[in-house]
Amino acid sequence: AVQARASVPARQAAGINVHVRSPRMSSKVNAYLASQCFVCEDLDRSSAKECKQDNFYGQVCNSAKFLLVSEGAVLLTTPKHKTSDPPSEVLLTAQEVTQGPFSLEVPSLASNTSRVTPLALGKLSGQWILALDVSQHEQLLHSTAREVGMQWRKVRELLRVPDLSPLVLALSGQAVALARWHASTRYCSNCGQPTKSIECGGKRCCIGVPQHKHYPRTDPVVIMLVLSASTPQRCMLGRQSKFPPGVWTALAGFVEQGESIEQAVRREVWEEAGANVGCVTIVGSQPWPVGRAGSNELMIACVCTAETDTIHVNREEMEDVKWFTKEQVREAIDKTGSGSLPREGLLLPPATAIANHLISGWTDGRYGGLKSQL
């Protein structure tokens, strides 16, 4: 007879030592994502069910680590062993939050009427990471931070902080994106009544009609490197008038409702460059919590091949779109971030953006023999 195995929580309650592993990706995919900004594979998000337990905050608040969020910024602290360095860490202990310079009453945050919203980001090595949205205390906390040598930094600014760990950047991006969503979803879109945070920030529900639930929003964006069918092969890059001088990048656009990723790629290339493309291959993705107008985007990187080399630029959307050779792109990769303009006047997005990895993957020969996902 086959005996049903007890659930992990049941075995843990019975005193059985259970090693719970977070889902892992293959080494090949993990190697690719390791260089992607805002990606944290070590963060275990599979423990969300624990947030549904009664008195969840009371159980975890003393052992959890906290990240303070305020109006799209996070608090950077200075490591104790590097007091002379710029602030570069974001996690605080419960004691530092409740008894330090901020004196926040963490246990009271479980109240649904409190404007402070605790947000569960996941677990690191079995320890819960909670973000606290303290925007209503912004003026007081900003002055306090300056007094103790801490800094509030916008997430986009973190991209330029030297030696900042990928973990700090990933946690900061996730926390700010989730806090922004909560701030913009205070009222039910179905009936207009106030909403409240439930399951430690994992969703919101309507106070008047609990069946009306709202989930954190992510906007999918396709970003595609269009390759020429002719030889020697070239890639299609475009620029908008708002870009810094000399900067060109892969074409991109939002996925519309009822549209597949492949369809979105073909539509966007046609709209911006007047070109038809055939095979579309998805090669990677990157969370981008610093999107347009504060949106939280998921960048889906694709490679496709144009049916012809003819380009008809849509001047309403793009300043220019044209083909570049591998030699031009390789020179731009070497010069990007150096502050000097290449001979051909081409600069690429920084290495923090998936566009840079998408373009450099072509010059490295990673896309040979790719076939359509369809």
Residue with the bigger pLDDT between 119 and 6: it is: 119
Q: What is the pTM of this model?
A: 0.83
Q: What pLDDT is stored for residue 12 in this prediction?
A: 44
Q: Please state, in angstroms and rounded to a whole number, the distance separating the CA atoms of residues 99 and 237.
A: 53
- Residue 333 tokens read as 């990769």
- Residue 78 tokens read as 């200075």
Tell which residue, 56, 119, 364, has the closest CA to residue 235.
Answer: 364
Q: What pLDDT is stored for residue 77 in this prediction?
A: 80
DSSP state of 233: -
Q: What pLDDT is stored for residue 5 in this prediction?
A: 41
Place of tokens 């007081």: 140
Q: Please state, in angstroms and rounded to a whole number, the distance separating the CA atoms of residues 48 and 353.
A: 29
| Neighbouring residues of 164: CB distance < 8 A, sequence distance ≥ 6 | 88, 158
How far is CA 298 from each of CA 13, 86, 287, 289, rounded to the nearest angstrom? Answer: 38, 30, 5, 8
Judge whether residue 82 has pLDDT over 90.
Answer: no
Residue with the bigger pLDDT between 23 and 37: it is: 37
Provide the 10 A C-beta neighbour count for residue 229.
13
DSSP state of 4: P
The 10s digit of each residue's pLDDT in 133-143 is 888 776 667 77
List helix spans (H) across 165-260. 166-184
The 10s digit of each residue's pLDDT in 91-146 is 888 877 777 666 665 544 444 444 566 799 999 988 999 998 888 776 667 777 77
Question: Do you know the residue count of the chain?
Answer: 374
Which is it for strands 73-76 and 92-93: parallel, antiparallel or unpaired? unpaired
Q: Please state, in angstroms and rounded to a whole number, the distance separating the CA atoms of residues 242 and 140.
A: 36
List helix spans (H) across the chain. 8-13, 27-33, 56-60, 94-99, 138-147, 155-158, 166-184, 261-273, 326-335, 354-363
Q: Cis peptide leading into 107, omega within 30 of 0?
A: no
Q: What pLDDT is stored for residue 263 in this prediction?
A: 97
Residue with the bigger pLDDT between 366 and 36: it is: 366
Q: Please state, in angstroms and rounded to a whole number, the distance separating the CA atoms of residues 47 and 292.
A: 30
Q: What pLDDT is stored for residue 1 in this prediction?
A: 38
